[in-house]
Each structure stands twice: as structure tokens, then as C-alpha cells.
Amino acid sequence: MRRRRNVKIVATLGPASSDYQMIRALFEAGADVFRLNMSHGSHDDFRARHAIIRQIEKDTGRPIAILADLQGPKLRLGTFKNGKEELENGQAFRLDLDETPGDAKRAYLPHKEIFDALEPGASLLVNDGKIRLKVGECGADFANCTVVAGGEISDRKGVNVPDVVLPLAALTKKDRADLEVAFEAGVDWLALSFVQRPADVEEARGLVKGRAAIMVKVEKPAAVNVFDKILESCDGVMVARGDLGVELPVHAVPPLQKRMIRKCRAAAKPVIVATQMLESMIESPMPTRAEVSDVAAAIYEGTDAVMLSAESAAGDYPVEAVTTMNNVALEVESDPTYRNVIEASRGAEKNSIADAIVSAAREIAETTDVNAIGCFSQSGTTVYLVARARPRVPIIALTSEVDTARRLSLTWGAHCVVTEEVGRFKEAVVRAVRAALADDFATAADQIVVTAGVPFNQPGTTNIVRVAPCDERLIYRAEPE
């Protein structure tokens, strides 16, 4: 089974997509990566869905990536005496550490770290920014605020603090427990929520110990401010537009999305665009035109993947949502303007032998009659470098490491194939040719480009590029290496 598009689709699983039949239907409709959101459901739910995905992987013979998304530090109000209150613009409202249920004048905010970091003039956002408070006098256990934007406030609504870096641990006690369950099952990517600084990523990396690739969800202004350093410290990025659009003006998010995609691509690290992509399909079998344009815009910008959240996890039309994303991707990638945009945004990153080799492979593929680029890679780095340039021909990612193949399933254009270890370059060429023929990338009359590193099975040794015929008889007639 091969995709006829390059951008990847991430589908979140949940109550609407929890059995084998539905998850298999989502995969066949186009999902390449499954996100398991650890903010919801039990550990048993997680294990059950994980087992189903691995069974589908076995049944279809295709590597599938699993992304475990940690909840991160959730900041919430306490309860209210009457369950809810109405706040008016301009009124005074106090937040404090008093556990007494709140009323129209005050509320319990059980997060001392917020009070420790607040300064006069800071903003506090409640319930996804629907209520906005401006901090006046504040101290170690209170903040006297003025209501800037009023409305209904109720039990345990979320609180965002966009103006300050909070002294919060990168991983909560719940995250640490979830992390061990995820690794016990075996996940490929771990998404970190509410990252504020590179040190948050490094703390997580110390716990991960190489058992998964680390993806940072950019959803805090603090993370945007140090994005370049965070990008250096992580393996991939999710542009999490939900909280980002709460803590920043909504009109600031589209240019940030574009800049982050370009920086990730230049760094050869996968990037996902997420949140509200086809939101109306939670309840409707058809998306809005604006939603389709949003998905298309992310694809034109060169993102590695687009993501469905509640649409596939809890919506009424999960398969239709994946199908819609797949169809939008096919249409966009067949548009000549897409190639113009993608190629105009290519960088000139040639800092190593591997950079030069993959650049040569792409140029050969695009200037001659070649059907695909076959990349042998143990760590996946060569595939990331090839994908960075967004070549016009498919990328066949060959590796003997199943974990690498799964992680690469998130990468733009990568068709992942698990193969046995090879010891000679000619053997690698034959494996690449067989994969190209088996998965309908070429016929025996065609040619492919093959890249690999000698000595084999050592990360970071990419140093050979060759144009190979897809007729094995011609390969064996060639002079020995």
C-alpha cells in the first residue's frame, strides 16, 4: 500500500475510533500516524489502541507511527459556590490560594507558581481566552485583577498566562506515569505540551533515554520567543494552534505557522500543523470552504503533516475527515503552483558530505528520467535531509530498524520499507530496486537513484549516490564495486 501524496496525515484516536475496524478504516482512508492523547482515557485504553495499531501494521505490512501526546501542566480554577458566575467588564475580581469555593468577586487558583511569577500589568486568560483579566496588585498568594472581557466563569476552567514564563516542571507527576506506560507499550514519538524553554526538552530527553523521538508542541509565547533554540533541542515540532491562538492575537498565528514550518524544514526536522483543521466535521460530513483552504495552505507551506484532533477522536465522521484531508492533499500536490512554491522556498544547506550527497541525488532525480530516490538509513537522518528539499520524485526510505521506519512515517514523502541488513552497496541497490518495483514506484524499464553509506549499518555515513536500472540483470552485469 503506497500513498499517492507526500504530506502525511495524523489522526487522533478516541471514543469514536477505538476498535480494529474503525482504526483500520482510518488507515486505509489515509492516516499515516496515530496520535494517542494521554489527556483523556485510561492506561488500559491506551494499551488497547496501541495493540490494535500494531496489529494493523502487521496485517498490512506497512510501518505506522504512534505519537503519544502528554497532557503537560494544566492550569485550572477551583470550584464556585453556585457552579458558575457572570463577570462584567471593568469589575474587580480576585484570584487567591483560599480553597473556599468562589463567587462573583473571587476564585481559588490552586497554582502557587502562577502567583510567584505574576507582575502588575500581566494578563490572565480563562476558558480559552473568553474571559480576560488584567493583573493589578499581586503577591505570593493573591492577584487583584480587573475584568477586561467578561462573561460566564465556572468550575475548573483552564487558565492561560501568556505574558510570563512560569516556573513549572516540564513533566508533571501524571506525565511521568503516562510516559512509562507509553514506553512499556512502545511508541515512536512523544509530544511535550506547554514547553516554555529548551531546558524543558532536555529534562524530558533525560527521561526518554532514546526510547522515542521528542516532538515539541509550540503553544506558548515563551516557546515562540526562543523557538530557534527549542528547535535545536528537539526532534520535531507541532504547531499547536489552539493554545497558541489563545495566548497570542489570532492574527499573529498564520505568519508564525509559516515561519516555523520553514525553520523546521531548513533544520530537516518534521513539523505538524494541528488544531481545528476540519473542526466542523465533528458534526458534519462536509467541511467548510475555509477549513479546506486552511489544510491546503499548510500543505502549500511545505508542512510534513496535517493533524485531525476531535474530528477523528470523537466526531461523527472520522473516516470522512481523513478522506477529506487525503483528497485536499492530492489536489494541492497536483497543482503546478505547489511545485513553484515548494521549490522557491528551498534552502542551500550543504554543510556536510551527506548534505552534498542528498542534494546531488535530488538534482539527478529532477533533471533525468528517474522515478524515485531510494535512501538506506539506520538513524533516518539521510531521509530527513532528502525530504528537506521536497523532491519531485517519491522517497523510498529503506532501513533494517523497524523503529526508524515507524518514526520516518511522519516525514514528508517518505515511503518506509523495513529490509534486512546489507553488507555491500550492490546488495543495497538490488533491495532498493525491488522495493520500487514491489510498491509500484517503477517498472523494469525505469531507473532510480540510490543513496547509502559505506561502511553499512553505521549512522551518519551517507557517502554514495548511484543511478541504478530497475532491471536486476543490468545491475549484476555492472562492474563490481
Q: Mind telling me the catalytic residues?
A: 35, 76, 217, 275
Query: Which own/partner contact pairs does 23-28 have at CB distance under 8 Å and 24+ positions apart?
Result: 23/49, 23/52, 23/53, 23/56, 24/56, 24/59, 25/319, 26/312, 26/318, 26/319, 26/322, 27/56, 27/60, 27/64, 28/1
Report the distance separating Cα 357 and Cα 465, nearest Å: 6
Find, among 428, 431, 333, the residue nearest to 390 by Cα: 333
Cβ atoms of 187 and 67 closer than 8 Å: yes
Q: Which three cell numbers stand for residue 254?
A: 498564520
Pick the closest to residue 246 from 355, 344, 337, 159 (CA basis).
159
* 3-class DSSP assignment, residue 9: strand
Q: Which long-range contacts (CB under 8 A, 24 or more apart) does 415-419 make?
A: 415/2, 415/3, 415/439, 415/441, 416/62, 416/63, 418/63
Gap between the Cα atoms of 292 and 278, Å rounded: 7
Q: Which residue has the cell 472581557?
A: 149
Residue type, 7: V
166 SS3 class = coil
Measured CA to CA in angstroms, residue 50 lies from 45, 95, 409 at distances of: 9, 41, 16
Q: How many CB atoms lie within 10 A of CB 415?
A: 23
Phi, psi (degrees; rounded to nearest 5) at 229: -70, -35
> Can you say how many angstroms the Cα of residue 255 is from the centroid of all Cα atoms in its chain?
18
CA distance 137 to 33: 47
